Amino acid sequence: MASMDIATENQMEINIKTVHKNPIDKEVQQIFKPLNIMQMLVLNPKFSIKNGVISPNNNLNKFILIGGAVIYITIHIHRIVEILIDDNFRRYSKVDFLLFASIFDFTFRCLGIIINCYTNFKQTKKATLLILYYQEVHRFISDRTSDKRFIFRTWLSVLCIFGFYFTICAYFYFFYLKPPWNVLVYLLIGVTLDSNVIYVLRLIKLLTDTIVLWNIQMLLLLKKECSVVHHDKLFHAYVHALECYRIAINIFQPSILYKTIETFCQGLIDIEIVIEFLKLYSKNTYKEQPNPVSSILLSTWILKNLIMHIILSLKLDDFYEAIKFAQYSCTFIMVKDGTDSQKTLCKNILRAHRALFTKMSVCGLFEMDICHPMRLVALFAHYTIVLLQFAFLQS
């Protein structure tokens, strides 16, 4: 069975590299449609689907990907140079820390766009292979109600992330009447980078639902006798689901690492900005009244990043639990009065699990599990206290 799976994988890779024409089912297209539309809106395509055929990014998609990155980076570099040569910014800025914060923020955003562009450009074949693996599983294990629920919640997730940034854009429009273009580009880059997290969130949820349905099929083996062909399909479905997971964590590791660093560093910078302004107002040297909306926006931004980490960790934990239950199902069948072919199937699945499955380790630095957001919040709280201590010492 293992050799059959290797042959299947090699055949898929050959199709992608040479033929570039892999038919995709309409049901699978509908499942990934919200995510694909989201990726196109933020100039971040991962593959190409046309006339029911999926293939790695074509020349048009590559042009959109690279062109969008060049535009974003050019505008950001222009803004950095503008700040550096603007004497008025340093002369009239009430908070000196704003200069460092602005340069760091724009530089870090440019780095994120470069990582994002490079990842999608180099990993487009793997992204296509992921869809093909999932399609093989979906053809054997699927549930129409589960698919509809997943599609609805995916649309809801996409609308939520775009709604968040649209609300901020609306605030700048009505508060400043004519918001600067660099602010709009900044927000567009933000939703571009966040879209990767939304993508992997929904992908992990999709794989979790698939493993749950697979577990049901496995337990039904005890109630009815199935052919060896059916056992082979169960084995391949499990292996392909694990391959989808392996490809997903390989593709999205840089994005998750970037998001983690952004949440920590950008959060501390936002906290320091709020502290500096509070110190400024407390000295009564600033005649204008403090604007609480700015502090609320900064706090909301920090909270949004933390919530995304929490949801991602919860979804991954659900997937880990589903995988663990799959192992329990196999062990249960082996202990019970299963047939020889059923026991052989379970042994092969357990071997495949040991060979293919590991928890997501982001670039070998930390594991993404249920404890990740708690570790991140603890680290964030610790350094926030340090910033407050420095603020009190300087006051």
Residue 270 CA to residue 274 CA, distance in Å, equals 6
Q: Is the pLDDT of residue 2 over 50?
A: no
Q: Is the pLDDT of residue 5 over 60?
A: no
Mean pLDDT (whole number) for 91-98: 61
Beta strand ranges found along the chain (DSSP E): 22-23, 48-50, 53-55, 361-362, 366-367
The whole-number pLDDT of residue 95 equals 55
Q: Is the pLDDT of residue 293 over 70?
A: no
The whole-number pLDDT of residue 392 equals 77
In this structure, of 12-16, 359-363, 370-374, the range with the lowest mean pLDDT score is 12-16
Q: Is the pLDDT of residue 11 over 60?
A: no
Mean pLDDT (whole number) for 320-348: 87
Contact 127, 121 (CB under 8 A): no
**Threshold 0.75, pTM exceeds:** yes
**Sorting pLDDT into bands at 50, 70 and 90, what band is 291?**
low
The whole-number pLDDT of residue 94 equals 56
The whole-number pLDDT of residue 79 equals 77
The whole-number pLDDT of residue 296 equals 77
Residue 382 CA to residue 331 CA, distance in Å, equals 44
The whole-number pLDDT of residue 326 equals 92
Q: Is the pLDDT of residue 135 over 90?
A: yes
The whole-number pLDDT of residue 148 equals 94
Mean pLDDT (whole number) for 323-342: 85
Evaluated on CA atoms 387, 299, 189, 318, the torsion sign reads positive
Residue 152 CA to residue 156 CA, distance in Å, equals 6
Count the alpha carbons within 13 Å of 376 in the hemisphere toward its beta carbon: 28
Q: Quote the number of domains for the chain.
A: 1
Query: Which are the contacts of 68, defined by CB distance < 8 A and separation ≥ 6?
Result: 42, 43, 44, 117, 192
Query: What SS3 class is residue 225?
Result: coil
Q: For 206-230, write each residue's pLDDT tens digit.
A: 999 999 999 998 888 877 777 778 8
* Averaged pLDDT of the chain: 84
The whole-number pLDDT of residue 18 equals 43
Q: Is the pLDDT of residue 255 over 70?
A: yes
Q: Is the pLDDT of residue 6 over 60?
A: no
The whole-number pLDDT of residue 139 equals 92
Quote the domain boundaries for residue 205: 2-394
Highest mean pLDDT among 112-116, 191-195, 317-321: 317-321
Q: For 39-92, write each residue's pLDDT tens digit.
A: 999 888 999 888 888 989 888 899 989 998 898 888 888 877 877 776 666 655
Highest mean pLDDT among 182-191, 238-247, 266-275, 360-369: 238-247
Residue 250 CA to residue 362 CA, distance in Å, equals 9
